[in-house]
Structure 1
Amino acid sequence: MRIRLYGLLRDAADRRTAVEMDVCEGETVGSLLERLVAQYPRMRPLLFARPGVLLPHVMLVVNGRDVRDGRGLDTPITPEDDMAMFPPSAGG
């Protein structure tokens, strides 16, 4: 599965614009993120308020839909899915 990264998440992943992750049967967005932050530990404070709780302004989009509009971190994923991760941003 290809995960596109934006903003500070890109920096936390050694300046990669995307990473490839294998997806196991029964995998969820949450389990994939846990594996991702194990690989790139600097991502954890950019994504999670505490274990299992996303920061309020982090947006995770799977196949064009924000996971918060569905099952959140329990959203099931497959190898064919497309995911984009947007960190909180400031500005006005």
Structure 2
Amino acid sequence: MKVKYFAYIRDYTGTKEIQIEHCDTLYELLIKLCKKHGARFESKIFKDSFLSSEIIILVNGRNIVHLQGLDTFLSPEDEISIFPIVAGG
């Protein structure tokens, strides 16, 4: 499965995208990514064991808010995109 990183999230991962072994759920994938990319990445993904409000995650272009959140089931061919929330005016 492909994971794509955007904006400053790339600073924490050192890459724009990676191929990673299949995970059954988004939560399982994020735990694996946190182990791979370290504490700085994890601090942007999770806050107090919940998904951080500072990021948006898409699975095949659909926001996980409109899916099953962290319980979203994944397929090996899925593309996951991780974006920081961008504020401005």
TM value normalised by structure 2 = 0.91
Find 1:79's aligned residue among 72, 76, 79.
76
The residue correspondences of 1:16-31 to structure 2 (distance < 5 A) are 16-24=15-23, 27-31=24-28
Cα distance in 2, alignment partners of residues 31 and 47 from structure 1: 13
* 8 Å CA contact 1:48, 1:55 repeated in 2: yes
- Unaligned 5+ segments in structure 1 are none
Q: What is the identity, as a one-letter code, of the residue corresponding to 1:3?
A: V
Q: What is the identity, as a one-letter code, of the residue corresponding to 1:49?
A: K
Give 3-state SS (helix, strand or coil) of 2:74's partner: coil
Question: Which residue is equivalent to 1:48?
Answer: 46
Aligned residues: 88
Cα distance in 1, alignment partners of residues 2 and 56 from structure 2: 16
Q: What is the identity, as a one-letter code, of the residue corresponding to 1:50?
A: D
The share of aligned pairs that are identical, in percent, is: 31
Shift of 1:54: 1.1
Q: What is the identity, as a one-letter code, of the residue corresponding to 1:37?
A: C
- Unaligned 5+ segments in structure 2 are none
Cα distance in 1, alignment partners of residues 41 and 84 from structure 2: 10
Give 3-state SS (helix, strand or coil) of 2:32's partner: helix
Cα distance in 2, alignment partners of residues 54 and 45 from structure 1: 10
Cα distance in 2, alignment partners of residues 61 and 71 from structure 1: 12
